[in-house]
Structure 1
Amino acid sequence: MKIIKVKNYDEMSRKAANIISAQVLIKPDSVLGLATGGSPLGTYKQLIEWYNKGDIDFSEITSINLDEYVGLPDTHEQSYHYFMHENFFDHVNVKPENIHVPNGVAANMTQACREYEELIKKAGGIDLQLLGIGTDGHIGFNEPDDFFEPLTHVVSLTESTIKANTRFFDSEDDVPRKAITVGIKTIMQAKKVLLIVNGKNKADAVKEAVCGKVTPAVPASILQLHPDCTIIGDEEAFSKL
């Protein structure tokens, strides 16, 4: 596990974008596992800036998103499908047919999960997986549990996750209670993992994930076992290491 400490969010975003752009330059047809939320916004903004300058080309990449809320259509402003188009896809030259986000409104969610796993296998696996981390140590929507859920699955969101995501909705009652997420095994099978984290409110989670025992009670702790994992965090996020 490689740990990179930076001063602030902007520096974190730039370093993360550097790693992603290097991956795409080395392998133009990379399969990128992408994340949503506040943490990667600056990274996407930097990648868009470099794309507009002609420094990076996304035309051959395949994107596979980590998760999606169950029950929100693609057109909903808080769906992750909408988020990714608004904050990244619509500003670069990723081919529409190479964009993949879990189906949160499938009639058969079990089948949707199985099909998403097959899609990842057919793509050849994930070359680089971008992750954030929740205040409870979750990655994707893999919440603290008694065991690591290996494959793509539907999960009931914890109270802390619901409260954390309330800022994106009109009220807490509007936050979906379930999500579909790529599982821990699938994340761990990515060739590279890049975790980005900022803010004092993530310091406890980072400490447990990096220094604590590997446990499904802190899902991010499994990354200690990944052969090529880089964590980039600001001073506040790393304040308890």
Structure 2
Amino acid sequence: MLKKFKTDLAAANAVCDRVETLLSVKKDALICIAGGDTPLQTMQELVRRSKTGQIDFREAYFVGLDEWVGLGLETPGSCRATLFSQLFDKLIGLKKEHICFFDGKAEDLAEECDRIDQFVDKRGGIDFILLGIGMNGHLGFNEPGVQIDLNAHVVELDSVTKQVMSKYFEKDLPLTQGISLGMKQILASKEIVVLATGTKKAEIIQLTVETEPTPQIPATFMKKAKNAQFFVDEAAGSLV
């Protein structure tokens, strides 16, 4: 289902409303928030609601969606650096031991995937996940051609992802792989929101809406989930 909002801020507030409702009934819910540019307004509003006491994060849990292989917290623009600087470090009362995030610099990436899988399984799966949508339709680092039955896994980055990744970093980085939650975990989430804002996302939103589920456009898999919604502003939804 697609919901269209007048502005990107209105869409971000709608996402925050869902998180607020969830934590009011399940204080220890497991939440996943994507990194990148699109969720930044959502993060800012979650921080504001935390500081005013509107949302209580003291018992909440968070799991990371993805990370660039080779990067860690010390690299500005990494998923981990973005989530910690813009969200986790600013939420009142959030326990650091309640956060489980991919370490892109881990020596054993398979072991890292197992660690994330175990954390998600121990919490009974993800209660709420906020996803962005890539220009190629990827979700996290689930790139075109992804298998639908995977949990956390290492991914070879798609050419489109490599082209746009420079916007996140101060200098060019030789990144070729990502590590990500898999489509199996994402689709099993109890509530899924795919957030898209701006005219640059209009074409991929149109393509996703008009295309039957296919591994070549991972976002189309959301049509298989009754609990998934697309939140778009008028710019991103201008072609649908």
What TM-score range do you get, normalising by the shorter chain? over 0.9
Kept in 2: contact 1:28–1:58 (CA 8 A): yes
Correspondences of 1:101-140 after superposition (within 5 Å): 101-140=101-140
Q: Deviations over 1:177-213 (max 9, x none)?
A: 2110001011001011011101111112112222211
Question: Cα 1:22–1:176, aligned 2, differ >3 Å: closer, same or farther?
Answer: same
Q: Matched residues in 2 for 1:104 and 1:68: separation?
A: 6
Counterpart residue number, 2:230: 231
Kept in 1: contact 2:78–2:168 (CA 8 A): no
1:123 shift after superposition: 1.4
Give the alignment's Cα RMSD to 1 decimal.
1.4
Q: Which amino acid aligns with 1:37?
A: G
TM-score (norm 2): 0.95
Q: Matched residues in 2 for 1:22 and 1:175: separation?
A: 41
Counterpart residue number, 1:94: 94
Secondary structure of the corresponding residue to residue 215 of structure 1? coil
Q: Matched residues in 2 for 1:3 and 1:23: separation?
A: 20
Counterpart residue number, 2:178: 179
Q: Deviations over 1:138-179 (max 9, x none)?
A: 0011010164361111111122112222112234x3152211
Q: Matched residues in 2 for 1:195 and 1:147: separation?
A: 19
1:45 shift after superposition: 0.5
Q: Matched residues in 2 for 1:176 and 1:111: separation?
A: 20
Q: Which runs of 4+ in 1 moved over 4 A?
A: none
In percent, how many aligned pairs have the same letter? 30
- State whether structure 2 residue 19 is matched by structure 1 residue 10: no
Q: Deviations over 1:49-73 (max 9, x none)?
A: 1111111110101101100111112
Kept in 2: contact 1:162–1:175 (CA 8 A): no
Kept in 1: contact 2:146–2:218 (CA 8 A): no
- State whether structure 2 residue 183 is matched by structure 1 residue 207: no
Q: Which runs of 5+ in 2 are unaligned?
A: none
Q: Matched residues in 1 for 2:190 and 2:21: separation?
A: 14
Q: Matched residues in 2 for 1:91 and 1:122: separation?
A: 26
- State whether structure 2 residue 76 is matched by structure 1 residue 77: yes
Kept in 2: contact 1:68–1:81 (CA 8 A): yes
Kept in 2: contact 1:165–1:175 (CA 8 A): no
1:76 shift after superposition: 1.7
